[in-house]
Amino acid sequence: MAIRARLLACLDHVFPAPSASAHCDGPCGVYDPASARIAAEAVLSMTRKLLDLDGSAPDAHNTFARYVSIKEQQAEIVKHELSVLWGDYFKPEHLEAYPELHTIFWKALKAASAAKQQLSVEVATELLDQIHAIHDIFWATKKRDVEWMLANP
Amino acid sequence: MAIRARLLACLDHVFPAPSASAHCDGPCGVYDPASARIAAEAVLSMTRKLLDLDGSAPDAHNTFARYVSIKEQQAEIVKHELSVLWGDYFKPEHLEAYPELHTIFWKALKAASAAKQQLSVEVATELLDQIHAIHDIFWATKKRDVEWMLANP
Amino acid sequence: MAIRARLLACLDHVFPAPSASAHCDGPCGVYDPASARIAAEAVLSMTRKLLDLDGSAPDAHNTFARYVSIKEQQAEIVKHELSVLWGDYFKPEHLEAYPELHTIFWKALKAASAAKQQLSVEVATELLDQIHAIHDIFWATKKRDVEWMLANP
Amino acid sequence: MAIRARLLACLDHVFPAPSASAHCDGPCGVYDPASARIAAEAVLSMTRKLLDLDGSAPDAHNTFARYVSIKEQQAEIVKHELSVLWGDYFKPEHLEAYPELHTIFWKALKAASAAKQQLSVEVATELLDQIHAIHDIFWATKKRDVEWMLANP
Amino acid sequence: MAIRARLLACLDHVFPAPSASAHCDGPCGVYDPASARIAAEAVLSMTRKLLDLDGSAPDAHNTFARYVSIKEQQAEIVKHELSVLWGDYFKPEHLEAYPELHTIFWKALKAASAAKQQLSVEVATELLDQIHAIHDIFWATKKRDVEWMLANP
Amino acid sequence: MAIRARLLACLDHVFPAPSASAHCDGPCGVYDPASARIAAEAVLSMTRKLLDLDGSAPDAHNTFARYVSIKEQQAEIVKHELSVLWGDYFKPEHLEAYPELHTIFWKALKAASAAKQQLSVEVATELLDQIHAIHDIFWATKKRDVEWMLANP
């Protein structure tokens, strides 16, 4: 007999089972598109800094290599946060209400990859715009009015 | 002037630009659903071992806690590998040929989360089945005939 | 001669150095205490769910082990985000204006560790309160009026 | 008295101990050299793309820095996967049957490091060849006939 | 009733509670500033190697990008190790005995960030000096005489 | 023509190549078995704390699950540090001088895995003993007399 069953049996030996158990569908239920937004702001900021980098500044090449690396990591965080929202938070009923859901997330993931590949303020801004759209849908499904804000406007 | 432009100008000062440049759309172009499959096999294996765990064996609780943790990590790897395939490998023309693409990936991600939350051979097997479906579509888009195999059949 | 010097010399061979170079003191300049807040909300949520866990539910032990692990990871994220804010964002002039800065961060780090060690709603709430205090100081130094909000109130 | 002993005693209070307990020697028993092979293919692919990189393409330096970083990460994954196979899967009886085992793995690890340090198709190919050799030994110990394949031939 | 309470009740059903329980305030109690020192030595070493890099060597640019990335990672490890020592090991009584504690750690964190941003032997050496100071305080609080040593003097 | 060649040509356009270039065979040359030793001490400490855990203490199950997880992570760090020493630091000439090198590392890796699987002070002590043996060989190859010490004796 498996440990789980034996342990529960052991517990039941002492206390009767409660009558109902809420279904837990996510690890903690704390979702907030702000995580993706902050990382996307970092991607945009690093893109701008890379484009503006002054080649004659001391340590310019050290700076260039690490900025690319930071941009890469932040875009990766964006992709991870988006995947969690898409795969874990959103449910079939949300898809019915927002049939464009899959397309928005797919485009946002592709924009995050493009923002890694390119040094383009336009692409990084487009990524942020798509996260803005996700922010709007997300809070609408929660029936909460949460303003879109930027840490680094 | 940005370092990039200056550096390229510097290079162009010495050598003329080549006439064409292939567009690189992914980091390395090496995609293989086997990565997701191996991790999903690990999820299934850990699920089985957890259900079969002998509560009277020495170190049973150490084993239980670490098996849950390993199952969690492997399911996370599955989710990451699936997100990369969905967001980076598959392109709009694939979506036209396989309109169910978004739904398959969404269900696979949800199955991976369910396999974390539950100790269910059925759920872990369903996850593996969905990766099998993705394997079939993936290699079909590559026009290659790659057999589905399991490391731990 | 080192590559850096040679490369810059190479660039300077083509373009004269610009007259000024802004000092870049942080990787991207995008700081937002929301990152620490979201993770701290997850710590609080997991703490509550662990305390409420129904021992007779199927998979209760799987759930217990993974909730502890998620709580641990989220508390680790809180600690990391706090260290970045303390070590990278805040400058000596902020310390002059807020002499309690070191103490607040030290206590917040210790609260995050305590929230790992214990299953206490009080400790997790205290952690969130300290991040609230940091939020207030942070946005005050930026002379911006950003409301404190919770994703999971 | 330690929790483990007490808990088992508690369980035994209800159910007698089963008569035998299989020895579990690895976390999940799912080993597959395909994990190392896929990462090594990525190392080879990135090496080729780095050598072919067109310096006049837009974003060439962004691309260069991130390709080096991806090659580094993939080589690190190769090393990790090889260490797991060598340290966890292979047992003394395998060493008796394949006395060259230690040497093959040592050389493969060194080839992975060399593939980080250099931009050499030859070195990256040698790494892949050594993983091929490991693949052959691995499946031979499992008495299974698994064909060597490449995702990106 | 929560699982924890039920499980403990189950245990108590069999064995009486021990009379006292030591308070455990840290995960393992194994602190050693050597972890931070080794990473800081790596930062210094990479800084020196980057400054000495021979631009005409084969693979010079591959080497440059990866050395910057390794320096970045090692400096990140330094910051993490310092945060653990500051937040977890040191207690209010230590702060009383060493009122400069907060300032030393703050400066050390800032030196680690500066060592990322710059290619400066001076900055990397300063970081190592601050870890030396932390080493002295740390072992003094333990009343042990541990000599400062370098792996790579 | 590849970017590397063009860039070097660009540099050579300005400065002649230096006459000699030291071969760099490792990322930073800072190796120190203390990294493996500190993690192994943590494994031993967590093992002891797990065995001594008082089941009636508040939060005993939270503590149990996280201690197992910390032990797992620290053993993983040991394995990683050992792999780096074995694969990167040690060279064929060391193997000639210490023909038992492969065997010692293999056993040490297996001891680290065993220390994950079991709650055994003996196994964790054996792991530490093997790292002691590696410490002796390592510093002997460096012709330095470095005393073996423990942070947590």
Residue A15 near chain E (CB below 8 Å): yes
CA torsion through residues F69, F71, F72, F73, sign: positive
Determine the residue of chain A that is closest to B108 in CA distance: A87
Determine the residue of chain A that is closest to D19 in CA distance: A1
Picking from B14, C26, C5, the residue whose alpha carbon sits closest to that of residue A55 is C5
**Closest Cβ opposite residue D83 in set F1, F53, F83:** F83
Q: Which of residues 67-86 of A touch D (CB under 8 A)?
A: 68-69, 72
| Region for residue D29 given its phi and psi (left: phi exceeds 0; alpha: psi -120 to 50; beta: otherwise) | left
Q: Is the pLDDT of residue F103 over 80?
A: yes
Picking from D124, F71, C83, the residue whose alpha carbon sits closest to that of residue B61 is F71
CA atoms within 13 A on the CB side of E101: 22
Type of residue found at D134: I
Kindly give the confidence (pLDDT) of every residue in chain C, 153 residues in length, as a single tens digit, with 9 standing for 90 and above. 344 444 333 333 322 222 222 222 346 689 999 999 999 999 999 999 999 987 777 788 899 998 999 999 999 999 999 999 999 999 999 999 999 999 999 999 999 999 999 999 999 999 999 999 999 999 999 999 999 999 998
User: Which of A1, A3, A63 is the best residue to mutate to test the B interface, defined by the most B CB atoms within 10 Å of its own CB?
Assistant: A3
Q: Determine the distance from the C-alpha atom of residue A30 to the mean position of all C-alpha atoms in its chain, rounded to a whole number.
A: 12
Residues in D touching F64 (Cβ below 8 Å): 3
Residues in A touching B88 (Cβ below 8 Å): 109-110, 113
The rounded distance, in Å, linking the Cα atoms of E140 and E146 is 9
pLDDT at F29: 81
| Cβ contacts from D onto F, under 8 A | 79
Assign E54 a pLDDT band (cuts: 50, 70, 90): confident
**Closest Cβ opposite residue E11 in set F7, F41, F56:** F56
Is the Cβ pair F61, E7 closer than 8 Å?
yes
pLDDT at E23: 27
Q: Is the pLDDT of residue A26 over 60?
A: no
Q: What is the mean pLDDT of residues A108-129?
A: 96
The rounded distance, in Å, linking the Cα atoms of B40 and A137 is 31
**Closest Cβ opposite residue B38 in set D21, D32, D41:** D32
Enumerate neighbours of A (3 or more CB pairs within 8 A): B, C, D, E
Cross-strand pairs, A2: B54
User: What share of chain A in percent tops pLDDT 90?
Assistant: 72
Cα distances (Å, whole numbers) of residue E118 to A70, C22, D72, D130? 15, 14, 22, 39
The rounded distance, in Å, linking the Cα atoms of B83 and A109 is 9
Residue F59 near chain C (CB below 8 Å): yes
Is the Cβ pair E112, C51 closer than 8 Å?
no
Cα distances (Å, whole numbers) of residue C116 to C127, E56, F136? 11, 51, 37
Residue C64 near chain F (CB below 8 Å): yes
| Cβ within 8 Å of residue F81, ≥6 positions away | F33, F35, F36, F39
User: Looking up tokens 């035998």, which residue turns up?
Assistant: D20
pLDDT digits (tens, 9 = 90+) for B7-65: 333 333 322 222 222 222 346 689 999 999 999 999 999 999 999 988 777 788 899 99
| Cβ contacts from A onto E, under 8 A | 41
The rounded distance, in Å, linking the Cα atoms of D38 and B30 is 7
**CA gyration radius, chain E:** 22
Compute φ and ψ for A54, nearest 5 degrees.
-90, 110
Picking from C72, C77, C67, C8, the residue whose alpha carbon sits closest to that of residue C37 is C77
Q: What is the mean pLDDT of residues A122-145?
A: 97
pLDDT digits (tens, 9 = 90+) for D55-101: 777 788 899 998 999 999 999 999 999 999 999 999 999 999 999 99
**Closest Cβ opposite residue E55 in set F11, F35, F56:** F11
Q: Is the pLDDT of residue B98 over 70?
A: yes
Residues in D touching A118 (Cβ below 8 Å): 58-59, 62
Q: CA of E79 to nearest chain D CA: how many angstroms apart?
A: 21
Residue B63: burial class (beta carbons within 10 Å; 0-12, 13-18, 19+): buried
Residue of higher predicted confidence among F23 and F36: F36
pLDDT at E112: 97
Q: What is the mean pLDDT of residues F37-52?
A: 95
Compute φ and ψ for C81, nearest 5 degrees.
-65, -40
pLDDT at C37: 97
Q: CA of F6 to nearest chain C CA: how many angstroms apart?
A: 12
Burial C120-144 (b: 16+ CB within 10 A, else e): beebbbbbbebbebbbebbbeeeee
The rounded distance, in Å, linking the Cα atoms of A39 and A45 is 10
pLDDT at A132: 98
The rounded distance, in Å, linking the Cα atoms of A38 and F15 is 44
For chain D, the first-to-last Cα distance in angstroms comes to 59
Determine the residue of chain C that is closest to A138 in CA distance: C151
Is the Cβ pair B15, F3 closer than 8 Å?
no
Mean pLDDT (chain E) is 84
The answer to whether F130 and F108 are in contact (CB under 8 A) is yes
Type of residue found at C90: F
Cross-strand pairs, C54: E2
C with A: 3 or more CB pairs under 8 Å?
A: yes
| Helix runs in C15-59, H state only | 34-52
The rounded distance, in Å, linking the Cα atoms of A136 and B104 is 25
Type of residue found at B104: I
Q: Is the pLDDT of residue E126 over 50?
A: yes
DSSP readout, F59-101?
Answer: THHHHHHHHHHHHHHHHHHHHHHHHHIIIII--HHHHHH-TTH
**CA gyration radius, chain C:** 22
User: Looking up tokens 């406007």, which residue turns up?
Assistant: A153
Q: CA of D117 to nearest chain B CA: how many angstroms apart?
A: 18
Q: CA of E104 to nearest chain A CA: how many angstroms apart?
A: 26
Picking from A64, A73, A51, A74, the residue whose alpha carbon sits closest to that of residue A122 is A51
Residue F1: burial class (beta carbons within 10 Å; 0-12, 13-18, 19+): middle
Burial A26-63 (b: 16+ CB within 10 A, else e): ebbbbbbbbbbbbbbbbbbbbbbbbeebbbbbebbbbb
Residue E10 near chain A (CB below 8 Å): yes
Assign F113 a pLDDT band (cuts: 50, 70, 90): very high
User: Looking up tokens 């957890």, which residue turns up?
Assistant: B50
The answer to whether F36 and F85 are in contact (CB under 8 A) is yes
Q: Is the pLDDT of residue A19 over 60?
A: no
Q: Determine the distance from the C-alpha atom of residue F63 to the mean position of all C-alpha atoms in its chain, rounded to a whole number.
A: 27
Other residues' Cβ atoms within 10 Å of the Cβ of residue A120 = 16
Compute φ and ψ for C142, nearest 5 degrees.
-90, 0
Cα distances (Å, whole numbers) of residue F96 to A131, D96, F90, F99? 59, 21, 11, 6
Q: CA of E107 to nearest chain F CA: how many angstroms apart?
A: 24
The rounded distance, in Å, linking the Cα atoms of D49 and B133 is 31
pLDDT digits (tens, 9 = 90+) for C8-36: 333 333 222 222 222 223 466 899 999 99
Residue F66 near chain C (CB below 8 Å): yes
pLDDT digits (tens, 9 = 90+) for A27-59: 668 999 999 999 999 999 999 999 998 777 778
D with C: 3 or more CB pairs under 8 Å?
A: no
pLDDT at F76: 94
The rounded distance, in Å, linking the Cα atoms of D76 and B98 is 35
Cα distances (Å, whole numbers) of residue B40 to B75, C59, E96? 7, 19, 53
Residues in D touching A13 (Cβ below 8 Å): 13-14
Q: Is the pLDDT of residue D24 over 50?
A: no
The rounded distance, in Å, linking the Cα atoms of C42 and E152 is 42
CA torsion through residues C133, C138, C139, C141, sign: positive
Residues in B touching F50 (Cβ below 8 Å): 62
The rounded distance, in Å, linking the Cα atoms of F46 and F70 is 7
The rounded distance, in Å, linking the Cα atoms of F51 and B138 is 49
Picking from C148, E137, E147, the residue whose alpha carbon sits closest to that of residue F147 is E147
Enumerate neighbours of D (3 or more CB pairs within 8 A): A, B, E, F
pLDDT at B60: 87
pLDDT digits (tens, 9 = 90+) for E74-84: 999 999 999 99
Mean pLDDT (chain D) is 84
User: Looking up tokens 């009379």, which residue turns up?
Assistant: E19
The rounded distance, in Å, linking the Cα atoms of A37 and A127 is 9
Enumerate neighbours of E (3 or more CB pairs within 8 A): A, C, D, F
The rounded distance, in Å, linking the Cα atoms of F85 and E114 is 29
The rounded distance, in Å, linking the Cα atoms of B142 and C25 is 47
Is the Cβ pair F62, C119 closer than 8 Å?
yes
pLDDT at C9: 36
Mean pLDDT (chain F) is 84
The rounded distance, in Å, linking the Cα atoms of D14 and E14 is 11
Q: Is the pLDDT of residue D15 over 50?
A: no
CA atoms within 13 A on the CB side of C54: 12
Q: CA of B2 to nearest chain D CA: how many angstroms apart?
A: 11
Type of residue found at F4: R
The answer to whether B75 and B116 are in contact (CB under 8 A) is yes
